[in-house]
Structure 1
Amino acid sequence: MSEKETDVSDDVLQFHRVVEDAPLEKLRKVLAIGMNVNAPGRLGQTALMVAIAAKNLEKIKLLLEFGADPELTDRFNATALEYAVDHDFVEAVQFLIKLGVDRGYRPKYPLKQVHYDWDFLESMQVPMPEELRGVMSEDEWNSLSNPRDILEEHGQNPSVEPLITQVQSVECLQFFLDAGDDLCLAPAEIQRDYIGLGSTTKFQCTKKEYWSHKSPRFGSSNPEVMGNPFWNDMVKLGCNAYAARKRFKDDNPFSNPGPVWCYDRFGATLTQLSDGRFVQIGGEHEDYYDPDFCIYNDVVVHDGTGEFEIYGYPKEIFPPTDFHTATLVENAIYVIGCLGYVDQREIGVTPVYRLELDTWCFEQVETHGDIPSWLHRHRAQFDASRNVITVEVGDVQVSKDSDNATLSPNTDQFELDLGSLKWRTVDHQPK
């Protein structure tokens, strides 16, 4: 995709070529004669972005010394840090984060509208795979593979997302985590590497074990240890339910209805404990129209070396939960908010649960005060000095009927006092 160009002066183009190719001392001389270090080049790139793409840390430092602004963006609203992440330039990621640049939460400058080259996008249209015919229509596939409406909306009303969502290596991920970012925002494959998974390449369970354990189920106690050969394989492989069906020749979900248990999920949380373990909670697989759509209420505890334990719960103790937050507070994790199934959602209610880490038992937490309502896709952070969890952004459900639900962006910041269990509205955030 590209954007229509405006003219870029020859001086700027020549300057950027010096940044990209010339020795450091030549760049120093060009800067010393007064070249505008922040002049935008092709697609709005700054000299700093060019140096990052060239993976030259010394030039990055020199440009900053001469006044380069690391918060400036190109025409697609990408910052210098985003360039460093996209190029997996580990040293630059570390350097820029230490400078304190925005990590994709609160941009310094207003976002720019983006104009896309639709002829180019349509030329890249991908045909629908044969495996999906009968599962979705041609129009549904076209909207997914070339989502013009979504891109137009994003271009006219641009938004940012945390740059941890784009990291390509464990090394870069660690810098974001050290800065306070949420591990569960990282790409799934990088999360798997970070917690010690990813070495298994094929199923170990038998066909009989697949058919015995293919279906999700709730636990019968708080908690119930629920590992079995098929579920264990799914955790180790990280594959989707479709791949499992294909492996065991269960590829007609209409003759064998019901979802296949799957660990490839959206909206799960992954929390690192001080002893090196990791706790993944809930999440969903696929969208509502898919035969393997399921929202989970389980907990998977990883030891960091590839071993893990799966715990299940009665849905009355801990319901199916996705797009929540999981906040570590001493020896417990507070699970706040949820999207859930339609019939779970209650206007004016924010579900809060506490997972005790010594027993792995869940307990519902009754709260009061200025309750945020049915909240999901939000962020949460614990302030130990005040014993409060701060919640912001995300979406809230503001109405509900049998067929439709109206969601609204959460424009408020809330605090939950863990001593009094009272919510209060802290601040109204601009949209």
Structure 2
Amino acid sequence: MEVEDYWERSAFLLAVHAGDIGKAEMLLSKGANRDARGRCRRTALQYPMNHDDAAMLRWLLDQGFSPAVKDGFGHTPVMDAVDHSAADCFEILLEAGADWETGKHEGTRLISDATHPRIIQRLLDLGENPAHLEREALREWIGLGTRDELQVSRAEYDQGSSRRFGTANPERMNVPFWNAMVRNGWTGYRAAKHFGEDSTDRGDPVWCHDRLGTSITPLPDGRFIEIAGEHEDHYDPDFCIYNDVIIHDGKGGFEILGYPEEVFPPTDFHSATLVGEWIYVIGNLGYRRTREAFSGETQVFRFHIGSGAMERVATSGESPGWIHSHQAKLGDGCIRVFQGNVLAADESGEITKSSLSGSYSLDLARAVWTRR
């Protein structure tokens, strides 16, 4: 019974792959090896993902197969469910206690590999941050899709290719080039090249919507609030940290809100937590000038969904410091932040990065931080 085929599958694994519970059950009763592994040490519990075979998966779990067992690449069945868009199997594995947070690569989240709408929604319901989605999946999720043609003139490029801050709180930034860049998701380099320029020679970044460290907050009415973020690394000519807010209607429509830098500084790698009609924006990696302006204290702002206004929240207590790339959760009138990084100056004045120790809670009624 343990003779293997070309893909190193035993008769039992073939029965599982084929979705034949009767044969699989008979083979186990005859002493087939339940711990058999296929090519790349693939486990029995991973084969139902190929066809989203919920019935076979439930049967295997009932036989005591563990959803935590990994293959030769360190992948679990729930990771395969995401890869194969096996939405039914994904839900069953969650019920069985599968780890829905850890991604396939160190430091990544499972949602970063998700493309199936039901799987994405389930992870968001569990509290995942949609900003961790892969860019194309994220664009599909918020209704933008992708386009290959930049529908903007050379004059509009010349007029709008540079970043500028808003003059009101907020200013609705109806810039044709910016709108086209949001619809396309192009990098600044690609847009400049499209118009025969090299962005490395400009002296200022080309405005773009291709960003890291942004936040996406789904609203109950189907809209999405996208806040700030950065493009490229600090040494790149197109490096830019933005301070805008983009309101997506979920159907491809959007509007861009701008702010004066003194009202809302350029912000990236923050958290965004929906609390009633406000979104609390906590933390920032930011520019050095922003860190110095806040004297290393935790940056806290809130965005009003109705008016679009952004306001700073003055806090007291023991804050986590200049935190970024963290997690945030709402509960009992507090926002708890955890698992982030903190920038601080050492005795010589050198800026160092360390992992956040423990967690901190911000009492929203009193605007007071408490270390937990």
In structure 1, what is the Cα distance between the partners aligned to 2:301 and 2:199? Answer: 37
Structure 1 residues 402 and 243: CA distance shift in structure 2, 3 A: farther
1:60 aligns with 2:57: yes
Q: Which moved more, 1:363-372 or 1:51-60?
A: 51-60
In structure 2, what is the Cα distance between the partners aligned to 1:221 and 1:401? Answer: 40
1:100 Cα deviation (Å)? 3.8
Which residue matches 2:243?
A: 297
Structure 1 residues 22 and 297: CA distance shift in structure 2, 3 A: closer
1:418 Cα deviation (Å)? 0.6
Which residue matches 2:71?
A: 74
1:186 Cα deviation (Å)? 1.3
What stretches of structure 1 of length at least 5 have no aligned partner?
1-8, 112-157, 427-431
Structure 1 residues 319 and 195: CA distance shift in structure 2, 3 A: same
1:174 Cα deviation (Å)? 1.7
Which residue matches 1:120?
A: none
Q: How many residues align?
A: 365
- Quick one: which amino acid aligns to residue 376 of structure 1? H
Match of 1:214 among 157, 161, 168: 161
1:337 aligns with 2:283: yes
Q: Which moved more, 1:307-316 or 1:182-191?
A: 182-191
1:403 Cα deviation (Å)? 9.5
In structure 2, what is the Cα distance between the partners aligned to 1:261 and 1:334? Answer: 25
Partner of 2:265, secondary structure, is: coil
Which residue matches 1:366?
A: 314
TM-score by length of 2: 0.91
Structure 1 residues 34 and 415: CA distance shift in structure 2, 3 A: farther
Which residue matches 1:197?
A: 144
In structure 2, what is the Cα distance between the partners aligned to 1:404 and 1:95? Answer: 50
Partner of 1:354, secondary structure, is: strand
Match of 2:219 among 243, 263, 273: 273
In structure 2, what is the Cα distance between the partners aligned to 1:401 and 1:204? Answer: 53
- Quick one: which amino acid aligns to residue 257 of structure 2? Y
1:35 Cα deviation (Å)? 4.8
Aligned ranges 1:247-396 → 2 under 5 Å: 247-251=194-198, 253-254=200-201, 256-346=202-292, 348-383=296-331, 386-396=332-342
- Quick one: which amino acid aligns to residue 84 of structure 2? H
In structure 2, what is the Cα distance between the partners aligned to 1:387 and 1:89? Answer: 37
Check conservation: 1:170, 1:193, Cα contact below 8 A: no
Identity %: 40
Partner of 1:253, secondary structure, is: helix
1:43 Cα deviation (Å)? 3.8
Aligned ranges 1:8-47 → 2 under 5 Å: 13-14=9-10, 15-21=12-18, 23-33=20-30, 35=32, 37-38=34-35, 42-47=39-44
Q: Which moved more, 1:225-234 or 1:193-202?
A: 193-202
Check conservation: 1:348, 1:371, Cα contact below 8 A: no
Partner of 1:345, secondary structure, is: helix
In structure 1, what is the Cα distance between the partners aligned to 2:19 and 2:170? Answer: 62
Partner of 1:20, secondary structure, is: helix
Q: Which moved more, 1:158-167 or 1:82-91?
A: 158-167
Check conservation: 2:362, 2:369, Cα contact below 8 A: yes
- Quick one: which amino acid aligns to residue 196 of structure 1? G
Which residue matches 2:179?
A: 232
Which residue matches 1:119?
A: none
1:400 Cα deviation (Å)? 5.9
Check conservation: 1:270, 1:278, Cα contact below 8 A: yes
Partner of 2:162, secondary structure, is: coil
Q: Which moved more, 1:403-412 or 1:227-236?
A: 403-412
Which residue matches 1:152?
A: none
1:353 Cα deviation (Å)? 0.3
- Encode CA deviations 1:156-185: one digit per residue, 9 max, x unaligned: xx8453201111232321221232222221
Partner of 1:19, secondary structure, is: helix
Which residue matches 1:166?
A: 113
In structure 1, what is the Cα distance between the partners aligned to 2:231 and 2:349? Answer: 21
TM-score by length of 1: 0.79
Structure 1 residues 414 and 251: CA distance shift in structure 2, 3 A: same
1:425 aligns with 2:358: no
- Encode CA deviations 1:3-30: one digit per residue, 9 max, x unaligned: xxxxxx8689413333224732111212
Which residue matches 2:122?
A: 175
1:185 aligns with 2:132: yes
- Quick one: which amino acid aligns to residue 267 of structure 1? G
Structure 1 residues 16 and 301: CA distance shift in structure 2, 3 A: same
Check conservation: 2:146, 2:185, Cα contact below 8 A: no
1:90 Cα deviation (Å)? 2.3
- Quick one: which amino acid aligns to residue 316 of structure 2? H
